[in-house]
Structure formats: structure tokens, C-alpha cells
Amino acid sequence: MPAQLAPRGGPIRLSADKFSNLKRADGPSEEETRSLQIIMGVFGWLIGPRFAGSAVMGALCGYTAGAALVNAGGSTGLWAREIGWQAHQIAARNRVPELAQNVTTTAQRIARATASEMKALSAQPTIAEARRALITMVAAAWDKARAWAETSGVAASLLSLRVATLALLAPVLKSLEQWIQRSRENIELRRKSAGR
């Protein structure tokens, strides 16, 4: 009777892991998801105090809703992905990611300074002294933020971004029907490519 040879390294097992990094063509891209989450987070931040009692809770709910919308099936998901893609393109044209990186870096720097000042605040023996120290700390952080905004040009960039946005809105409002039609055509292409 011939001896059976076992493969080296044990039996060969095919696993779904090698396909785990593949994405479906009709699924949302990272740009679409991130853009819609930011839009919904800002929307939640704006309406959060009225409906959730907190702007932060509103932002978290909006951010989560953005992820749910972009992953939704049917025309809701298609519209959400299209809006996310359009927002990503607008942001890329106006150098928003670059500005956001500058703001994030500065916010982290201010947060670290604030945290070290909060540690010093916790050593304060009385409530009155703690209140005075907190007011001083907040005023100093505000002055640092304003000084940074003025020296780095962010204030001017934000003002020019506001003016540019208002200038962009006038033609956008006039051509809203064209945008909706173009979006409908893109959605129809997505439906056809997905075989729906």
C-alpha cells in the first residue's frame, strides 16, 4: 500500500481574509463617506442644541447619521454618496483639507496647553481661586487662538473663504436644477453599473 504524503505546512485552507480588503464597486468611497459625515456632523452641531440639548451630541448624532446614510441602500444611499462626492470635490478645489490640517494642528497645541493649565488648576485650594485661575486660563487660551489666527493668516483665509463661498452660492443657486439633473444622471449610471 503506497504511503500518502501530506502537503508541507499542513492542509491548504482558503480564507476570505485575502478578499477582505476588496471593496464593492457600488459601495461608498472614503471621500464620499468622510465628506457626508462632516456635512452631517456640522448640521448636527447646528441643530443639536435645539433637539439634543447639546451641540456635541448633535454633532455625534449627525456624524453617525452621515455614515448610515452613505451606506444606505437604494436611492437614499445613491443620493448620499453623490452629495458626499460633490462636497469632496468642492473641498478639494478650495484647499479645505490644507486649512483643516492647520486648524487641527493649532487646536491640538492649544488643547495640550489647556490640559497643562488644567493640571495647575486642580492644585488650587479654593473655589474662588479656581474660578479666577479658570477665567485667566480661558482668556489666555482665547488670546493665543486669536493671535495665531491673525499671524498665520487663517482669519484672512476664513474671511476670503466666506466671501468666495457667498460668491459661489449665487451661481450655484441659479444652476441648482442643472446640478440635480447631473446628479440624477450619475445616480442612474451607478444603478446601471450595479445591475439594479
Question: 20-29, 125-134, 181-190 — which is least confidently predicted?
Answer: 20-29
Domain-located, residue 115:
yes
Domain that holds residue 146: 96-152
Higher pLDDT, 155 or 125: 155
Residue 27 has pLDDT above 60, yes or no: yes
pLDDT tens for residues 32-75?
888 888 888 888 888 887 887 778 888 888 889 998 988 888 88
How confident is the model over 107-128, as a mean pLDDT?
Answer: 71
Nine-digit cell string for 148: 495665531
Domain-located, residue 111:
yes
How confident is the model over 128-132, as a mean pLDDT?
Answer: 72
How confident is the model over 186-194, as a mean pLDDT?
Answer: 82
Apex CA 180: angle with CA 178 and CA 182, to 5°? 70
Domain-located, residue 182:
no
Domain-located, residue 133:
yes
Residue 19 has pLDDT above 60, yes or no: no
Residue 126 has pLDDT above 60, yes or no: yes
Domain-located, residue 127:
yes
Sign of CA dihedral 2, 7, 10, 12: negative
pLDDT of the residue at 135 = 81
Domain-located, residue 67:
no
Domain-located, residue 166:
no
Higher pLDDT, 104 or 193: 193
Domain-located, residue 84:
no
What is the number of structural domains in the chain? 1
